[in-house]
Amino acid sequence: MKLVKTGGQDELAAEHLVYAHPYIVVLLCDLYRFMADTGFVPDAFGRGLIIPLVKDRSGCLNDLNNYH
């Protein structure tokens, strides 16, 4: 994650992790270890937001080849 970027759907930015208490590492390790041991992954971990990026704004915006 890059700094000074907006967060995702959870509204967490990289700065939240950078400036968090060091104990967050222990909590995240416990969380991921639990998920690996049990095979349970929260549904929210599978959600994402896709934003199409236009290659050429002067081109046709309806052309699928004009997007990354």
pLDDT of amino acid 24: 94
What is the average pLDDT across 50-68? 88
Domain residue spans in the chain?
Answer: 14-66
pLDDT 10s digits, 17-39: 899 999 999 999 999 999 999 99
The alpha carbon of 55 is separated from its chain's Cα centroid by a whole number of angstroms, namely 22
* DSSP alpha helix (H) spans, 1-68: 14-18, 23-38
d(CA 22, CA 43): 27
Beta bridge mates, 47? none
- The single-letter DSSP state of residue 66 is G
Identify the sign of the CA torsion 24, 30, 31, 32: positive
* Residue 20 structure tokens: 């968090």
